[in-house]
Amino acid sequence: MDTIISAQELAADLHQGAAPVILDVRYERGGPSGREAYEAGHIAGAVYVDLEADLAGPPGPAGRHPLPDTGVFEDAMRRAGVRRDSRVVVHDGGQGWAAARAWWILRWAGHGEVRVLDGGLPAWTAAGGELTTRGAAPEPGDFEAVPDSLPVLSADDAAALARTGVLLDARAAERYRGEVEPLDPVGGHIPGAVSAPTAGNVTADGTFRPTRELARRFAALGVTEGGGRVGVYCGSGVSAAQQVLALAVAGIDAALYVGSWSEWSADPARPVATGPLPG
Contacts of 191 (CB under 8 A, 6+ apart): 159, 162, 271, 272, 273, 278, 279
H/E stretch holding 213 reads helix 211-220
Distance CA 154, CA 83 (A): 30
What's the pLDDT at 232? 98
Q: Is the pLDDT of residue 1 over 80?
A: no
Q: Is the pLDDT of residue 277 over 70?
A: yes
Angle at 203 between CA 165 and CA 209, to 5 degrees: 50
Task: Cite the active site residues.
Answer: 234
145 confidence band (pLDDT: 50, 70, 90): very high
Bridge partners of 89? Answer: 22, 115
4-5 vs 21-24, strand pairing mode = unpaired
Q: How many residues does the chain have?
A: 279
Q: Is the distance from CB of 133 to CB of 38 less than 8 angstroms?
A: no
What's the pLDDT at 153? 98
Distance CA 180, CA 199 (A): 18
Distance CA 205, CA 91 (A): 15
* Residue 110 one-letter amino acid: G
What's the pLDDT at 225? 79
What's the pLDDT at 30? 76
pTM tops 0.85: yes
Q: Is the distance from CB of 70 to CB of 82 less than 8 angstroms?
A: no
Average pLDDT score, the chain: 96
What's the pLDDT at 18? 81
User: What pLDDT, in 10s, does the model give residues 195-230?
Assistant: 999 999 999 999 999 999 999 999 999 998 787 899
Residue of 84, 6, 80 whose CA lies nearest to 49: 80
Q: Is the distance from CB of 160 to CB of 191 less than 8 angstroms?
A: no
User: What pLDDT, in 10s, does the model give residues 73-84?
Assistant: 999 999 999 999
Provide Rg for the chain, Cα atoms. 18
What's the pLDDT at 17? 82
113 confidence band (pLDDT: 50, 70, 90): very high
Distance CA 195, CA 67 (A): 24
